[in-house]
Amino acid sequence: MPDFSLENQHPGLVCGVDEAGRGPWAGPVTAACVLFNQETLSPDLAQALNDSKKLSPKKRESLIDRIKAESIWAVGEASVEEIDTINILQATYLAMTRAVENLPQKPDFILIDGNKIPPALDIPAQAIVKGDGLSCSIAAASIIAKVTRDRQMAELAKEHPHYGWGKNAGYGVKLHQAGLARHGVSPHHRKSFKPIKKIMGIE
């Protein structure tokens, strides 16, 4: 389970960063940044934190407001247009950098889930593979990023109900594929992704 061992290896204010939405065929990529005060953090909240993928949607929804109430946090995103222009990896870096820049208080060090550090960050950082299962700060960021993006995709599903985004968040599952086959590509699809390019006939 995540704890604060990684955070405690660094002096000063240490935040965690994670993203949601690299793999879907539609919608933005979203990142979150979370900075905890360990002295005031509720022990039961710390114990409940985990990689968002290991938590049920209901559990994530139950945690997000508590995380926001007990931390300094921010969200950043890169749009579908940006994904298609600069590619998904660069857009993920952009979303993470924006999340850090949007944080109300500048951290001294950043823990980032994954194996790469966004090149535009001007703060010392460390990439942690599977960090959302190791660091409480990264785990909390993963929950905020995931819930924020899922809610956004559910809203987009009201305008474009054919793809099942309220349940699949834009991933290329069978229901989404069926919607694409019947109704074509929407403005929110990532047109640089191979499955969408194939449907559009621009491989």
Assign 69 a pLDDT band (cuts: 50, 70, 90): very high
The pLDDT value recorded for residue 167 is 95
Q: Are 52 and 136 in contact (CB under 8 A)?
A: no
Kindly report, residue by residue over 143-165, the tens digit of the pLDDT.
999 999 999 999 999 999 999 99
Q: Are 32 and 144 in contact (CB under 8 A)?
A: yes
Residues in the chain: 203
Which amino acid is it at 176? H
The pLDDT value recorded for residue 202 is 75
d(CA 185, CA 93): 26
Kindly report, residue by residue over 99-118, the tens digit of the pLDDT.
999 999 999 999 999 999 99
| Residue 51 Cα distances to 1, 83, 90, 131, 137, angstroms | 9, 25, 23, 8, 10
pLDDT at 203 over 70: no
2 phi and psi angles, rounded to 5 deg: -65, 150
Supply 59's token pair: 């559990």
pLDDT at 186 over 90: yes
The pLDDT value recorded for residue 142 is 98
Q: What rounded mean pLDDT belongs to the chain?
A: 97
CA-closest candidate to residue 24, choices 129, 150, 159: 150
The structure's pTM equals: 0.96
Average the pLDDT over 55-74 and give the result.
Answer: 97
The pLDDT value recorded for residue 90 is 98
Kindly report, residue by residue over 81-91, the tens digit of the pLDDT.
999 999 999 99
Average the pLDDT over 165-172 and give the result.
Answer: 97
Supply 115's token pair: 């194996």
